[in-house]
């Protein structure tokens, strides 16, 4: 679904992935890494957040190797790089090193626009990864996922899948993969209903993801949909607790550690490490504590300690989202 411009060669010296859709950003990175490792199985991949890229770090990472090894350097949230590091990156864009592919992930807004413009001017390969906020966009995404597998799904099946799973593209892609693997022939609405309608886990984690990202309106919308489809409130409080605790765990982990190492240490899959890194921006230890107290109160409310479980959930979701937003100001 990501749209490429400039060149289709994933081994171009610089790839610029622009947007805020996490799945598409991850796929842009994965495509480059896969191409590099196809050319050289020993390719060294460095996946860095802005705080790990200090002035001079890029020069060290892109300096010639005695063994002329291929390397992929991924810089996430490039719009958040310091001014001095941005100067380093701009300087590198003019004379990129051989056998090295630089991948810049940029949100695409006004922040860090100078770097964005410089990369485009330098002829970087660009991959558009726009946030899919409209139901029609998510429906088109599901259709494209089925097409990519060479399988057929009816329009009703695609719509039912979007209705059942919600707005999380990663969940939608996973659902398509499972259906394609499990079902022969054309996938219709009845198949989707059997597999996914009212799936509690997906609904609960959508609520949690939107809340810890500070997106109160979307979190409340997802919450009301989940409740209306019969998702047990205890599953929602559990998902909220897990979302907040994941942020707390990652925030206390060593800075600069690779996703694979963190995954083993924290007991999370690597893709979740990347997602939580995106979500934790602005969170503090005090914020995590406030959010956990809100979850505990909601949990007590849905287990008989209150008269209105749905109100208890809404109160927790709003508190978590406000805490997330407050930390980003």
Residue-wise pLDDT tens digits, 14-51: 999 999 998 999 999 999 999 999 999 989 999 998 98
CA dist., res. 324 & res. 329, Å (int): 9
Please report where in the chains the tokens 């209705």 appear, as a residue.
163
Taking the CB of residue 279, how many other CB atoms lie within 10 A of it?
23
pLDDT score of 328: 65
Query: Per-residue pLDDT tens for 212-270?
Result: 999 999 899 888 888 877 777 888 898 899 899 989 888 887 776 666 677 677 776 66
Nearest to 168 by CA among 75, 275, 91: 275
Average pLDDT, integer, range 171-182:
89
What residues are paired with 5 via a beta bridge? 126
Cut 0.85: pTM above it:
no
- Please give the structure tokens belonging to residue 122: 């330098």
Strands of the sheet containing 44-48, edge to edge, are 3-5, 125-129, 14-19, 100-106, 71-75, 44-48
Structure confidence at residue 67 as a pLDDT band (50, 70, 90): low
44-48 and 71-75: which strand pairing? Answer: parallel
């Amino acid at each position: 679904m990501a749209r490429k411009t400039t060149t289709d060669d994933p081994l171009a010296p610089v790839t610029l992935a622009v947007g805020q859709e996490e799945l598409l950003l991850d796929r842009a990175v994965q495509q480059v890494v896969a191409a590099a490792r196809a050319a050289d199985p020993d390719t060294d991949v460095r996946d860095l957040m802005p705080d790990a890229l200090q002035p001079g770090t890029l020069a060290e990472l892109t300096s010639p190797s005695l063994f002329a090894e291929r390397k992929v350097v991924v810089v996430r949230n490039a719009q958040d790089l310091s001014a001095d590091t941005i100067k380093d990156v701009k300087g590198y864009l003019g004379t990129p090193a051989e056998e090295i592919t630089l991948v810049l992930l940029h949100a695409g807004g006004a922040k860090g626009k100078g770097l964005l413009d410089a990369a485009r001017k330098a002829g970087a390969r660009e991959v558009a990864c726009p946030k899919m906020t409209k139901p029609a966009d998510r429906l088109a995404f599901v259709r494209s996922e089925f097409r990519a597998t060479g399988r057929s799904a009816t329009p009703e099946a695609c719509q039912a899948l979007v209705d059942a799973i919600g707005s999380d593209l990663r969940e939608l892609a996973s659902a398509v993969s499972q259906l394609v693997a499990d079902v022969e022939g054309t996938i219709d609405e009845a198949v989707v209903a059997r597999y996914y309608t009212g799936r509690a886990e997906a609904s609960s984690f959508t609520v949690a993801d939107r809340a810890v990202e500070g997106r109160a309106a979307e979190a409340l919308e997802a919450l009301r949909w989940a409740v209306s489809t019969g998702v047990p409130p205890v599953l929602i409080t559990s998902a909220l607790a897990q979302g907040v605790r994941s942020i707390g765990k990652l925030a206390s982990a060593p800075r600069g550690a690779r996703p694979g190492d963190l995954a083993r240490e924290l007991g999370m899959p690597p893709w979740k490490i990347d997602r939580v890194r995106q979500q934790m921006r602005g969170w503090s230890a005090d914020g995590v504590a406030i959010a956990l107290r809100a979850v505990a109160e909601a949990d007590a409310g849905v287990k008989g300690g209150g008269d209105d479980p749905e109100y208890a959930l809404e109160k927790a979701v709003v508190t978590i989202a406000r805490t997330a937003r407050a930390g980003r100001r």
